Homo-oligomer: A and B are copies of this chain.
């Protein structure tokens, strides 16, 4: 059993947290006799400054030959906003057809939520964010740029194909959970075309899943429920932009983006899926051992699960859960110390 893993440490705190993710993967490899064949790819701000490249086609081709990708973070203030995000991160998601951007929102016992009187069991849901279309399609432009008559547009592109497959994936995940509840989030009273396509698609796919109950929530109202009644959610499915916004809020209520994992998944596995912490490159704290590697380590757990190593994945999640419980009493630890502690629990 060998995992061919591509590693993209990226920018800012990316390399630091990825180091800890790999440390944990080494522990998993030892305990579960899994072979990990790693190839590291130097992509991000440094490469862009040196060569002007964000993601060369040849590198993309090499990445395709892997089983999975572990990514740290992308983005740096020295690079114009959007260049690395669009040219590297989003290009990977789009080219590798990661149409399921899976983001669990889970409050682990021992972790402090900013919400008053909240219990871990009230925050345990899954956001299935569409990952390959919507407002992220890159369709937009300028007219008369730089003049008082300028118009700048952004187009959200939604296809029956793209919506149906992510909605079906979300139904499937909901059907596999005890509560079997799916909440569709959109803004169909304003975005009437995309909203109509989403609503029709949900109605159609729902017929295939009679055991799953479905409700609908406008995105604005959803943010209210995130902070007043997160327990109402089991699985959420939503578009790329709403999913981006809601999952940061979700990370916040579950104790912070230092803990929020994600998978950019191609469920058919025709391309490598990519796992990354939800937090960004956080250049302000980079290189100082301050970053929390937990989100990356939980992303490693998602990676293992995706590749079918269920037991290994659960071992990682259990080690994290144990470490999080202990944190309330532990003093402040560095990035490496947290990685060490979690890895040690896995080796046992």
Q: Add 7 more A-B contacts to A152-B159, A220-B248 (CB < 8 A).
A: A82-B192, A148-B161, A220-B247, A223-B223, A224-B249, A228-B256, A249-B249
What does the 1/0 interface line of A168-205 toward B look like (CB < 8 Å)?
00000000000000000001111111111101100000
Q: Name the residue on B nearest A113 (C-beta).
A: B116
What B residues does A156 contact at CB under 8 A? 135, 140, 153-156
Nearest residue, chain B, Cβ from A135: B191
Which B-chain residue is minimally distant from A84 (CB atoms)? B189
- Whole-angstrom distance between the Cβ of A255 and the nearest chain B Cβ: 10
- With A150-B197, A152-B197, A223-B252 in contact, do A81 and B157 touch (Cβ < 8 Å)? no
23 chain-A/chain-B pairs, Cβ below 8 angstroms: A82-B190, A82-B195, A85-B190, A116-B116, A135-B154, A135-B156, A140-B193, A146-B200, A150-B160, A151-B158, A152-B159, A153-B155, A153-B157, A154-B193, A155-B156, A156-B156, A220-B248, A223-B223, A223-B249, A223-B252, A224-B252, A227-B252, A228-B252
Contact partners of A86 in chain B: CB under 8 A: 189-190, 192
Give the nearest-CB partner of A198 in chain B.
Answer: B152
Q: Let me know if A227 and B82 touch, CB within 8 A.
A: no
- Number of copies of this kind of chain in the complex: 2
Residues of A within 8 A of B (CB): 75, 81-82, 85-86, 90, 113-117, 135-136, 140-142, 146-161, 164, 187-197, 199-200, 219-221, 223-224, 226-228, 241, 244-249, 251-253, 256-257
In the complex, the answer to whether B81 meets A192 with C-beta atoms within 8 Å is yes
Cβ–Cβ < 8 Å partners of A257 in chain B: 224
Known: A227-B227, A228-B114. A142 touches B252 (CB 8 A): no
- Whether A189 pairs with B82 at a CB distance below 8 angstroms is yes
Query: Do A189 and B85 touch across chains, with their CB atoms under 8 A apart?
Result: yes
Instruction: Among A158, A189, A197, A252, find the residue whose CB has the most chain B CB atoms closer than 10 A.
Output: A189
- List of B residues within 8 angstroms of A151 by Cβ: 157-160
- Say how far A75's CB is from chain B's closest CB, in angstroms: 7
